[in-house]
């Protein structure tokens, strides 16, 4: 059976979710040899407006590049949660930043303090997108950890590769803790 995974990364402008989508697609296509597409949309504001990145990863050719029924949704802002939480299909994975998102009573996802982990690991909240990628890949295995690290380093601004590696490793570690608790 052909495996197609649909991922929606959403947050506010400036949180780096579009870059995270590009990195994830590159990890899949360039470093893991899979098929991948990435699309994006954002509000008119440069920072603070809604933004989202959609990534489709498949073992075979992708005939439709948009997310139709998300397997994974990552929401790093309240607005992203409001707009996209219900777009993850039954049995899919919803990841939210527990410090930035107030969830509904019927929440059935994973709460991770993404921005706090980024700050603790690197001292830079801007690395939250990299932490989120580590959590996502650590939880799903949609791409290999090695491929994701290579893609992160390839996209990291000069002189920030070690900081981004720390953020990624912190995300992987958070995923391992969650998996240990949830079985």
- Where do the domains of the chain lie? 4-182
pLDDT for the residue numbered 14: 83
β-bridge partners, 42: 51
- The mean pLDDT value of the chain amounts to 93
**What are the pLDDT digits (tens) for 137-160?**
999 999 999 999 999 999 999 999
Sorting pLDDT into bands at 50, 70 and 90, what band is 128?
very high
pLDDT over 90 (residue 50): no
In whole angstroms, how far apart are CA 122 and each of 61, 89, 95, 116, 165? 38, 33, 21, 10, 9
State the CB neighbour count (10 A cutoff) for residue 71: 20
pLDDT for the residue numbered 42: 74
Side-chain-side CA neighbours of residue 73 (13 Å): 26
E-state strands within the chain: 4-12, 35-42, 50-58, 70-75, 88-97, 110-112
**What are the pLDDT digits (tens) for 93-115?**
999 999 999 998 889 999 999 99
Domain 4-182: top CATH class: alpha beta
User: Global pTM?
Assistant: 0.94
């Amino acid at each position: 059976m052909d495996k197609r995974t649909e991922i929606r990364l959403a947050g506010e402008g400036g949180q780096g979710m579009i870059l995270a989508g590009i990195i994830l697609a590159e990890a899949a296509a360039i470093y893991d040899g899979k098929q991948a597409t990435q699309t994006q949309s954002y509000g008119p504001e440069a920072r603070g407006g809604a933004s989202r990145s959609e990534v489709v990863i498949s073992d075979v050719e992708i005939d439709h590049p948009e997310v139709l029924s998300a397997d994974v949704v990552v929401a790093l802002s309240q607005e992203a949660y409001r707009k996209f939480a219900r777009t993850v299909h039954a049995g899919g994975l919803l990841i939210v930043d527990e410090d930035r998102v107030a969830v509904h009573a019927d929440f059935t996802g994973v709460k991770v303090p993404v921005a706090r982990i980024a700050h603790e690991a690197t001292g830079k909240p801007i690395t939250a997108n990299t932490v989120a990628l580590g959590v996502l890949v650590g939880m799903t295995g949609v791409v290999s950890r090695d491929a994701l690290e290579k893609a992160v380093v390839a996209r990291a601004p000069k002189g920030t590769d070690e900081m981004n590696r720390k953020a990624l490793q912190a995300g992987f570690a958070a995923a391992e803790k969650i998996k240990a608790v949830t079985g």
